[in-house]
Structure 1
């Protein structure tokens, strides 16, 4: 079968399409999944373009891809699944250390040892191939009506992890959020805007994409407000000292101009200075959720006393979200159904590029409008129509 893999080369890793044996035998608690589609995100960009990938120990290659949509081809007798069911799968696997309580309780997204594995990312084969064998305990069932947008369940689960954690954290106070600010208008930023609007929040998205961009149009279609950040609005690294100076305008002035104090701020751009800007701008008792990952370049000049006072005296909370647990996946499915009912067709519209497997190794991620999806097989509805003829 065809698979996209990252391989060890002479001097560096490289990504290619190759033929590997199709899986045949499955255990009683396993399923064989026919892969329908796999979504690509920023992590895949790092793997494909920057040749970043942690291969399994002793292996020369690893299948990439972690945003899965597929159907059950065969099911072990103890799996609890049946052929034809629409499914996705969790990405992270527990570290196996008995002392790691989160991993032992099914919360491997909170692993304490950092020795977890992740399918398609870190030391475990992913899903960008024709067939996958998976333990039933990591497989999540999707309703058939989710087929057109089911590949979004994994990224949506990261958003849901935040809301699930916020529900626990904010039991500390009587808290009714009214306003959300999102930095960044990539797939996670737009999904966060859709989620915030489905919850009835006044939602503002601040991003460097143009006001006439497809991203901006998706934001406005769900009733959120889109604001284009100018080149001078985002604090950046200066050429001389390699430092970013905060609170010198930009996001600070933008929020002040709106006359709001966001109850929630979601940092989805991956630009580190915005995380620290947001700490100051957040409303008292508010929550800052950091979903974007820094590029790791340069240093920042941080006004630590100001941030200390803001966080301590105003009871602000800062949380991060990466990967997700089964509960978050299940919540994501329900949320996507709600979003689809409220804004019909918007979710499928986010899937702006449909690719074949051969296009992945040389993909220019800068040309992707919003979200790229690799189609491995016909959609469920098409397959069933073909079978019925």
Structure 2
């Protein structure tokens, strides 16, 4: 079978090659790979050396945003041939810390977790892959190709779950949310905010389709420029860009008792002037919570599956703006101006 393999940090060594069938140790479910989503993490692995090779291997099968159809399943697995499934990314460490032992590997404390397609485990970028039943999530077949959005949606399901938990510290309830960034993560964050009945505002650099139209069509108000120019006083901020200065701008605009959730990783190194005393006073006097979130547990995948199943299928389909064959994986890493979500067809 064919697989997309890389050497982290060596962009010129991406290739599609023949590899052995997936070993049974990877899991009892044999799955036909259908689609593979691409995100910034994949670019970081290929070009910047993020990621870890599996022990004893000199190449990594990349890919953590999966969608496949079950080919073989044990009778007691809870799955049947033909089921559409997504593989969970993270696995608990071999000697589980307290969170990992409770199924909260997204809160691993010792860093010894592994991740499919990222850290010490081959990913889902192959024509067939195996997965443990407990790390497979069934998706509604009516979603079709949109099922590949489940993994990124799980990250936002966790972000909103944690935000809701923090908001519950008082009797006050938010009305307005600001999402910064109109990429796939930001648009999925907006979708989930609108589903909660919030007035959602999306802020991005440029007012250009399809991002701006997708934001408006999901029920959000779209803005460009900086936070101050948007004129929004958010009760909740879901920050999806990883742009450091924007975090501080968001805390300035936020209302008292607000919650600011950070989902993006900063890639820049340019210094920016920040008054730390002013920021401290603002957070303390405003009862403001700023927290970061990464990865997702099984329950977040299940929450995301419900959110996608209830969403407008036509809107979800518009998030997938480009589909490429396996041989064009390296090209797919290069974003086009009108890209939102790029996916690889593992059958082509």
Q: TM-score range by the shorter chain?
A: over 0.9
1:22 aligns with 2:21: yes
Q: Contact between 1:31 and 1:136, CA under 8 Å: does it hold in 2?
A: yes
1:62 aligns with 2:80: no
Q: Contact between 1:26 and 1:76, CA under 8 Å: does it hold in 2?
A: no
**Structure 1 position 195, deviation (Å):** 1.5
**Structure 1 position 53, deviation (Å):** 2.8
**Structure 1 position 362, deviation (Å):** 3.4
Counterpart CA distance in 2 for 1:183 and 1:168 is 21
Q: Which residue of 1 aligns with 2:205?
A: 208
Counterpart CA distance in 2 for 1:299 and 1:94 is 36
Q: Which residue of 1 aligns with 2:181?
A: 184
Q: Which residue of 2 aligns with 1:80?
A: 78
**Structure 1 position 175, deviation (Å):** 2.7
Q: Which residue of 2 aligns with 1:371?
A: 341
1:122 aligns with 2:119: yes
Counterpart CA distance in 2 for 1:350 and 1:300 is 33
Select which of 192, 196, 199 maps to 2:196. Answer: 199
**Structure 1 position 286, deviation (Å):** 1.1
Select which of 275, 290, 294 maps to 2:247. Answer: 275
TM-score by length of 1: 0.84
Q: Contact between 1:268 and 1:291, CA under 8 Å: does it hold in 2?
A: yes
**Structure 1 position 13, deviation (Å):** 7.2
Q: SS of 1:192's equivalent?
A: helix
Tell me, which stretches of 5 or more residues in structure 2 are unaligned? none
Q: Which residue of 1 aligns with 2:48?
A: 50
* Deviation digits for residues 63-93 of structure 1 (CA, Å, limit 9, x no counterpart): 0010111111001244221111111111011
| Shift in alpha-carbon separation, 1:128–1:298, aligned structure 2, 3 A | same
Q: Contact between 1:159 and 1:321, CA under 8 Å: does it hold in 2?
A: no
Q: How does 1:138-177 map to 2 (within 5 A)?
A: 138-177=135-174
Q: Contact between 2:8 and 2:47, CA under 8 Å: does it hold in 1?
A: no
Q: Which residue of 2 aligns with 1:108?
A: 105
> Which segment is superposed worse, 358-367 or 57-66?
358-367
* Deviation digits for residues 233-285 of structure 1 (CA, Å, limit 9, x no counterpart): xxxxxxxxxxxxxxxxx42x324xx2x42011111112111112212221111
**Structure 1 position 145, deviation (Å):** 1.5
Q: SS of 1:175's equivalent?
A: coil
| Shift in alpha-carbon separation, 1:103–1:31, aligned structure 2, 3 A | same
Counterpart CA distance in 1 for 2:164 and 2:78 is 31
Q: SS of 2:320's equivalent?
A: coil
Q: Which residue of 1 aligns with 2:280?
A: 308
1:218 aligns with 2:188: no
**Structure 1 position 108, deviation (Å):** 0.5
Q: Contact between 2:67 and 2:148, CA under 8 Å: does it hold in 1?
A: yes
Q: SS of 2:241's equivalent?
A: coil
Q: SS of 1:365's equivalent?
A: coil
Q: SS of 1:345's equivalent?
A: helix
RMSD: 2.0
* Deviation digits for residues 131-179 of structure 1 (CA, Å, limit 9, x no counterpart): 1111111011112212231101110111110121123222210132111
Q: SS of 1:176's equivalent?
A: coil
Q: SS of 1:273's equivalent?
A: helix
Q: Contact between 2:140 and 2:309, CA under 8 Å: does it hold in 1?
A: no
Q: Contact between 1:35 and 1:376, CA under 8 Å: does it hold in 2?
A: yes
Q: SS of 2:7's equivalent?
A: strand
| Shift in alpha-carbon separation, 1:204–1:86, aligned structure 2, 3 A | same
Q: Which residue of 1 aligns with 2:2?
A: 2
